[in-house]
Structure 1
Amino acid sequence: MKNLNKIALAADLTEMDEMMLHFIKGYDSLFDFEELHLIHQIEIEELSSEFEAMLAQKNQSLEELIREELQSKIDSVFGENKSTIHIYIQPQPDFSALVNWINKSKFDLFFLGKKKGLEGSGIFSSKMVRLLRCNLILVPETAKPTITKTIVPIDFSSYTGKVLEMSGHISKTTGTELLPIHILKIGIHYFPFVGNEKSIRKSLEKEALGKYEKLKKKANIEASLSMYLAEGNSIGNAIYKHTRELKGDLIVISKKGKSDDSDLLLGSVAENLIANDKNVTVLIIQ
């Protein structure tokens, strides 16, 4: 398992930046990251005459002004002269160029803030999730930088092994509890036998446990699998519901799941769990 050493944060010059830096500082005590890169894209195509006059008066370029602002936030959270923290500013509002640069940089983990009440629409984060090729972690503005329980939804897709492996690594690194869960959804093809729902559920549970035992041995983890019925909810909503009931701090999922078409950039469960109304930190494994 590759360690999470080289990490990055998308900074947008709002109060979310400082919140995310505090969150990363807390996670650093758990994972001991080696490098942090703050990344900002300048979205202004043309400066107003008033803004240009202000920059001239300060004898600074816009890039220098932004760099100074980001550095002050870094210093306030981590202290001064941190040689392991770097700033990259994309000078043009070219989103494709930014995505290409990030993908070429091969970050182990990319942090994105998930906004609900704070300034910003969250569209930037949503686009990044779809296009970046590194592991991503979406953090709600109210999240605490701790992990006591890691929730691992198991769907037995081709991605499940990677998700279990990463989750096991996180559990061992942080000493936190690993809670694999599987959501049972009785499909429409069982409709003629709906009167025998208990029997169907028992059969599905037995099948899931058999599959999980094989995955468990391969991933070298000891955690038992808990199963829950979707009860009319979507899989994503059911996962979120039981995460809240179990008091989970982190959900680890893959970008796509068992039922997602191969040409989708993002699977339906991942799409559901990163929505702004879901107040939980989500790690998306590539």
Structure 2
Amino acid sequence: MSEVSFRKTLVTLDATLMDGFVLEYVSNFYKSFGIKEIVFLHVIKDIDTRIEMDGYTEAENGALDEIMAKLNRKVSQYDFKDCKCTVEVKQGSPSSIILKHAVEASFDLIVMGRKRSLGGSGIVSSHIARKSPTSILFVTQNMNPSLRNILVPVDFSEHSSLAVKAGLRIEALSEAKLSLINIFDVPLGYYKLGKTYEEFAKIMEGHAKNDFDLFLKTNKIDKKYPCHFNVRGSKSKIDIVFEHALDSRSDLIIIGSQGRTNASAVLLGSFAEKMVFRDTDIPVLIIKKEGENMSLLQALLSL
């Protein structure tokens, strides 16, 4: 199973109240993620270049210096001992700047805030989630600031194995406990085999448990980690995951994102995208496979 690292992290700040939630979370748990270097980035939209006046450049530079000073003061209010921290302010399209920076500086993780009642359209976070080649953590506005229980939905694929690997890494560096959840289907037409829905669900659960045992063996994962098996039934997989997360008091959900190779498609699996933008207070960490979609993203950024 490939290594998962969050050593070098890009934390995006938008100069709103959401920054406080992001900074509190990162300062509390950066050691639990194994983060050693953080770049705090704020992107402001380009100043209208049609404006021409004496002293324009000086005024622009003065504004950037003021923003930089404010962000440095804000970051300095939180404890990041033994972590290299840098504050950067850039101008341009926020989505393009963040993605380009993530690629060029080879970050392991991007941290962003996901708002509910606070102002903001969420368009930037949506674009980043879809196109980022880097793992991304969405910190929620009304989260419970703790890290005790981690939930990882698994379908026994390579991408879910990376999500489990991330959970194991965080567990090893914190007091958190890891658990898994698998959701299986009863195929249509089950009644043609002369069995009830309940009987066929039991059969499918047996198959899922066999797949789970093979998944553990293949990826050399300790069997001590519990996996909760759930038949989808009439509920969506998203509903089942979040209901279980609430029941088990999960503080973090980690999911593997299966990238797309079609240039016309977004670069985030539909399940992962729905998980991220579900109206919930639980932070979600999307694990991207290293290098996947990188060439496509570089082509997109060069347009």
TM-score by length of 2: 0.82
Q: 2:212 — aligned with what?
A: 212
Q: 1:40 — aligned with what?
A: 42
Q: 2:298 — aligned with what?
A: none
C-alpha distance in 1 between matches for 2:21 and 2:105:
24
The residue type equivalent to 2:45 in the other structure is E
TM-score by length of 1: 0.87
Q: In the TM superposition, what is the alpha-carbon distance from 1:131 to its structure 2 partner?
A: 1.3
1:241-252 → structure 2 map (5 Å cutoff): 241-252=243-254
The residue type equivalent to 2:205 in the other structure is E
1:61-80 → structure 2 map (5 Å cutoff): 61-78=62-79
The residue type equivalent to 1:152 in the other structure is V
1:28-177 → structure 2 map (5 Å cutoff): 28-46=30-48, 61-78=62-79, 84-93=84-93, 95-177=95-177
Q: Aligned with 1:181: secondary structure?
A: strand
Which consecutive unaligned segments of at least 5 residues does structure 1 have? none
Q: 1:277 — aligned with what?
A: 279
C-alpha distance in 2 between matches for 1:174 and 1:95:
32
Any conservation in 1 of the 2:110–2:135 contact (CA below 8 Å)? yes
Which consecutive unaligned segments of at least 5 residues does structure 2 have? 289-303
Q: In the TM superposition, what is the alpha-carbon distance from 1:216 to its structure 2 partner?
A: 1.5
Q: 2:236 — aligned with what?
A: 234
Any conservation in 2 of the 1:148–1:248 contact (CA below 8 Å)? yes
Q: 1:18 — aligned with what?
A: 20
Any conservation in 2 of the 1:152–1:167 contact (CA below 8 Å)? yes
C-alpha distance in 2 between matches for 1:97 and 1:24:
21
C-alpha distance in 1 between matches for 2:104 and 2:123:
22
Higher relative helix content: 1
Percent identity at matched positions? 22
Q: Aligned with 2:172: secondary structure?
A: helix
Cα 1:42–1:272 shift into 2, 3 Å: same
The residue type equivalent to 1:183 in the other structure is I
Q: Aligned with 1:180: secondary structure?
A: strand
1:40-97 deviation digits (Å, cap 9, x = unpaired)? 2111432898xx999978x952221211111111112238x99811122222236434
Q: Aligned with 1:159: secondary structure?
A: helix
Return structure 1 stretches of 4+ with deviation > 4 angstroms: 52-57, 191-195, 260-264
Any conservation in 1 of the 2:152–2:164 contact (CA below 8 Å)? yes
Q: In the TM superposition, what is the alpha-carbon distance from 1:14 to its structure 2 partner?
A: 0.3
Cα 1:54–1:16 shift into 2, 3 Å: farther
Q: Aligned with 1:40: secondary structure?
A: strand
Greater CA drift, 262-271 or 84-93: 262-271
Q: Aligned with 1:152: secondary structure?
A: strand
The residue type equivalent to 2:176 in the other structure is T
